[in-house]
Homo-oligomer: A and B are copies of this chain.
Amino acid sequence: MDAAQAIEPIQRRPLHEEAVGRLRDRIVQGSLAPGARLNERLLCAQLGISRTPLREAFKLLAAEGLIELLPNRGAMVARLDPERLKHSFAVMGALEALAGELACARASAESIDAVKRLHADMVAAHARGDLAAYFSFNQAIHLKLVEASGNPVLVQTYRQLNANVRRARYMANLSAERWDAAMREHEEILAAFAARDAARLKRLLDAHLAAKLASVLG
C-alpha cells in the first residue's frame, strides 16, 4: 500500500500468460467460436510468439475448461453444453451465496461505494442501450461483490467458473424485457448489499442467477 505499489512495476509478463489472456478474451467474447479447431502455427503467427508458450497457454485454458485437448489432434474451443452450464450455475449460486453473506458482514464502506458507482455506470449503459458496456459493468459488479467477501480463494474459484458462463451470455442475445428485468433485480441486489441484509441478498442473488440461466438457455 505504500509508494512502491503506486509506481507501475515494469510489467514483463511471460508470453504464455499474455497468450492465455488474449485467447481467453477471444473465446469468451466468441471471436473464437465453440468447436473451432485451434491451429498452433496460425495462432503463433497471429500472436507473434512461438509454439512453446502457446502450448503452455493451451494447457491452462484446457484446465479452465475453455478448450479441449484432443491427443495428437490438437485443440478446439470447448462447446457449450447446456447441461454443464446448469451445473456451473448451481456451483456459482453456492459461491455467490457465500460471497453475499461474507460481503454483508465484512465489506468496507468503500467496497459498497465502488459497487454503487459501477451500478450507476451500468444504469447509464442501459439507458443508452450500450450492451457491451452493460455486460462489462455487470460483470464488474458481480466480481466486486465477490471480492467484497474478502476471501481470495472464493474470488479465484468464482472467476474461473465465470469464464464459461460469460461465454454463454455473449452467445445468447438478451431480450429487451430480460434486460429491463435484470436491471430491476440489480437495483434490489444493490439495496440489499448496501443495507448489509445478507438473507435478502442471498435470495436476490439466487433469483438473479436463475433468471440469467433461463435467459441463457432460452
Contact A71 B12 (CB under 8 A): yes
Check: A128 CB closer than 8 A to any chain B CB.
no
Per-residue CB contact flags for chain A residues 44-68 toward chain B (1 = under 8 Å, else 0) read 0000000010011001100111000
| Contact stretch, chosen from A28-36, A87-95, A129-137, A169-177 | A87-95
Show 27 A/B contacts (Cβ-Cβ < 8 Å), sorted by A: A14-B71, A16-B59, A56-B56, A59-B59, A59-B60, A60-B60, A60-B63, A63-B63, A65-B156, A84-B153, A87-B151, A87-B152, A87-B153, A88-B153, A90-B98, A90-B151, A90-B154, A91-B95, A91-B98, A91-B151, A91-B153, A91-B157, A93-B98, A94-B95, A94-B97, A153-B161, A157-B161
Task: Determine whether the beta carbon of B88 is less than 8 Å from that of A98.
Answer: no
Residues of chain A having any CB pair with chain B under 8 Å: 12, 14, 16, 52, 55-56, 59-60, 63-65, 71, 84, 87-88, 90-91, 93-95, 97-98, 102, 151-154, 156-157, 161
Bound-state CA distance A64–B154 (Å) is 13
The interface residues of chain B lying within 8 Å CB-to-CB of A12 are 71
Most buried by B among A16, A52, A90: A90
List 10 A-B pairs, minimum CB-CB distance, nearest first: A87-B153, A94-B98, A87-B151, A94-B94, A88-B153, A56-B59, A91-B154, A91-B153, A63-B63, A56-B56
